[in-house]
């Protein structure tokens, strides 16, 4: 691997783009319900919503690695950023990173291996949702030389590289500043080595950043000022963009607005290549879905293609497994996937003597809409469906209570072994999984510890087939939100496609620029 020249001309949807220009301010809106909320502050180690605050983290800390892709979203790969290079041992049990020389935090202290180690140790000790699930060996973190640091695992861990862009270990904060300021002040005004420094931070409201003059990449960032602003939904955000109060919005998912924005000449809409498809998790532990026939009935009654057409204007792909077009190991077809077949569904339901299902999801616009559509489809097959959407806590409660029947969720990540991966939904003994199948556990474990990519691909494909054969959970729409940007704004991930890391794309803010 190695550094990227960075300034590659990024072609948005808005036609030919000239050379990047220096200067200007940019206001980015974030949905208050997701990325727009950072209640625990922006210290990567303690930010419990770190998974949704990737944008802010990138702007402040830069990142050891970044996920990049070609402008159309293809050829996605993790590249070093503050890390100059990395090296994975043959057996996949150790991983060594070499840092770029001469990077300084904005407080003037060096970003070296010691700093990275300090950050990692803090990060792993804290309860951040973006904490990586590394199978770290005892004393697994070793500083080799001032610019080199290595990790040792208890088992082969090939997903290590892919795990970086989504987790807090990617964001290196200044340990000196942390010590001087104390944790509580630091999380408000964190000090990193990223393209921007914090001017003002009102938690979950406004984050004002300005250009870091000592940024290690020459000529970057382009913008003088960058502001993240939390806003209460897609419609106000869209209006704010229209009114010119903001220039970008991450994570638009209201389809009618998306279509309206697409028709608006002043707006660039970038639909991200999806990485996590929707999945209808079925609880195989209790009735009715401990009966495979009931599960098959659900498969047979579900027509995600129709939902995609009807609700989403055919904007997305429909997956048959836990991978999506934007992610690794994607295959459009899964062998033996039980396709939509209403007659079969009816038959099964009749055989079962009726089927009553409680279908839940987390309250959000897209999920509720899909559930509503699913309810209709299933009812057509004679399945009696009640749907129920809950706040996050309600969903957690249902899962931990174990009494849920069906749950619409998203599955997967760019790399199925990293982040909220497939194991999270399908492994035995995990509270958020509805499956208890040793064979599947084994397949998934093997896949995550295999270094060879082709082999991994094969294992994941097998796992997907196993899921389909056992009717564990029908997959669906590979949904990803869109990014909205005003005309004249350009940047990788914002106006070009990069597969989303968790939900939103990891925009590389260093390279975002505005036509003056």
Region 205-234 residues binding other proteins, contact defined as CB under 8 A: 205-206, 229-234
d(CA 100, CA 85): 8
Nearest distance from C-beta of residue 236 to other proteins, angstroms: 5
- 242 scored as a contact of other proteins (CB under 8 A): yes
- 249 scored as a contact of other proteins (CB under 8 A): no
SS (H, E, C) 51-117: HHCHHHHHHHHCCCEEEECCCECCCCEEEECCEEEEEECCCCCEEEEEECCCCECCCCCECCHHHHH
- 170 scored as a contact of other proteins (CB under 8 A): no
Among the listed ranges 165-173, 253-261, 489-497, 505-513, the one in contact with other proteins (CB under 8 A) is 253-261
Supply the DSSP string of 274-303, one letter for each residue: P--EEEEEE-TTSTTTTSHHHHHHHHHH--
- 243 scored as a contact of other proteins (CB under 8 A): yes
Among the listed ranges 68-76, 321-329, 424-432, 481-489, the one in contact with other proteins (CB under 8 A) is 424-432
Tell me which residues in 114-143 interact with other proteins (CB under 8 A): 127, 129
- 248 scored as a contact of other proteins (CB under 8 A): no
Q: With contacts defined by CB under 8 A, how many residues of the chain interact with other proteins?
A: 76
Give the one residue of 119, 254, 427, 505 binding other proteins; rule: CB under 8 A: 254
- 13 scored as a contact of other proteins (CB under 8 A): no
Nearest distance from C-beta of residue 191 to other proteins, angstroms: 17
| Smaller CB separation from other proteins, 10 or 46 | 46
Nearest distance from C-beta of residue 144 to other proteins, angstroms: 31
- 496 scored as a contact of other proteins (CB under 8 A): no
d(CA 233, CA 252): 9
- 262 scored as a contact of other proteins (CB under 8 A): no
Q: Are 479 and 311 in contact (CB under 8 A)?
A: no
Burial 354-393, CB ≥16 within 10 A → b, else e: ebebbbbbbeeebbebbbebbbebbeebbbebebebeeee
| Smaller CB separation from other proteins, 4 or 224 | 224
Nearest distance from C-beta of residue 239 to other proteins, angstroms: 5
| Residue 311 structure tokens | 């609700």
Nearest distance from C-beta of residue 99 to other proteins, angstroms: 29
Tell me which residues in 14-73 interact with other proteins (CB under 8 A): 27, 29, 32-33, 37, 39-41, 48-49, 51
Tell me the three state secondary structure of residue 158.
Answer: coil
- 363 scored as a contact of other proteins (CB under 8 A): yes
Count the neighbouring beta carbons within 10 Å of the beta carbon of residue 162. Answer: 24
- 271 scored as a contact of other proteins (CB under 8 A): no
- 399 scored as a contact of other proteins (CB under 8 A): yes
Among the listed ranges 109-117, 148-156, 167-175, 363-371, the one in contact with other proteins (CB under 8 A) is 363-371
* CA angle (135 as vertex; 161, 150 as ends), nearest 5: 55
| Smaller CB separation from other proteins, 36 or 92 | 36
């Amino acid at each position: 691997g190695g550094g990227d020249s960075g300034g590659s001309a990024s072609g948005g949807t808005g036609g030919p783009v000239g050379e990047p220009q220096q200067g200007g301010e940019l206001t980015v809106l974030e949905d208050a319900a997701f990325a727009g909320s950072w209640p625990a502050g922006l210290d990567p180690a303690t930010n419990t919503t770190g998974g949704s605050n990737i944008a802010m983290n990138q702007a402040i800390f830069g990142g050891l690695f970044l996920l990049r892709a070609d402008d159309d979203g293809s050829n996605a790969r993790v590249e070093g950023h503050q890390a100059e290079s990395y090296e994975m041992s043959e057996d996949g049990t150790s991983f060594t990173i070499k840092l770029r020389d001469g990077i300084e935090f904005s407080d003037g202290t060096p970003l070296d291996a010691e700093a990275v180690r300090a950050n990692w140790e803090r990060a792993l000790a804290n309860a951040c949702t973006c904490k990586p699930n590394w199978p770290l060996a005892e004393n697994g973190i070793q500083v080799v030389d001032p610019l080199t640091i290595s990790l040792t695992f208890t088992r082969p861990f090939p997903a290590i590289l892919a795990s970086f862009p989504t987790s807090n270990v990617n964001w290196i904060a200044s340990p000196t500043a942390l010590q001087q300021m104390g944790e509580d002040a630091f999380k408000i005004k964190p000090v990193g080595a990223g393209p921007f420094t914090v001017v003002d931070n009102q938690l979950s409201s406004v984050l004002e950043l300005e250009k870091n003059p000592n940024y290690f990449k020459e000529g970057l960032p382009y913008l003088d000022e960058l502001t993240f602003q939390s806003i209460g939904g897609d419609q106000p955000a869209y209006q704010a963009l229209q009114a010119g109060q903001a220039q970008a919005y991450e994570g638009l998912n209201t389809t009618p607005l998306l279509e309206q924005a697409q028709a608006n000449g002043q707006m660039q809409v970038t639909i991200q290549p999806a990485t996590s498809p929707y999945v209808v998790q079925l609880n195989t532990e209790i009735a009715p879905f401990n009966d495979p026939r009931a599960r098959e009935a659900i498969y047979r009654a579900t027509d995600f293609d129709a939902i995609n057409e009807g609700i989403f204007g055919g904007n997305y792909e429909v997956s048959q497994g836990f991978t999506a077009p934007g992610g690794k190991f994607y295959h459009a077809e899964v062998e033996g996937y039980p396709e939509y077949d209403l007659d079969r569904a009816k038959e099964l339901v009749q055989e079962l003597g009726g089927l009553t299902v409680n279908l839940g999801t987390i309250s959000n616009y897209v999920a509720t809409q899909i559930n509503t559509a699913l309810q209709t489809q299933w009812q057509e097959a004679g399945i009696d469906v009640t749907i129920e959407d809950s706040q996050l806590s309600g969903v957690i409660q249902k899962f931990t209570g174990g009494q849920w029947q069906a749950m619409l969720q998203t599955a997967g990540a760019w790399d199925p072994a990293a982040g909220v991966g497939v194991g999270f939904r399908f492994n035995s003994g995990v509270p958020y999984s509805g499956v208890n199948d040793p064979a599947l556990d084994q397949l998934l474990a093997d896949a995550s510890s295999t270094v060879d990519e082709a082999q991994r691909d094969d294992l994941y494909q097998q796992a997907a087939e196993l899921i389909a054969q056992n009717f564990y959970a029908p997959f669906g729409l590979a949904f990803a939100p869109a990014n909205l940007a005003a005309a004249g704004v350009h940047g990788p991930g914002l106006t070009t496609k990069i597969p989303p890391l968790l939900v939103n794309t990891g925009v590389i803010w260093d390279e975002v620029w505005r036509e003056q």
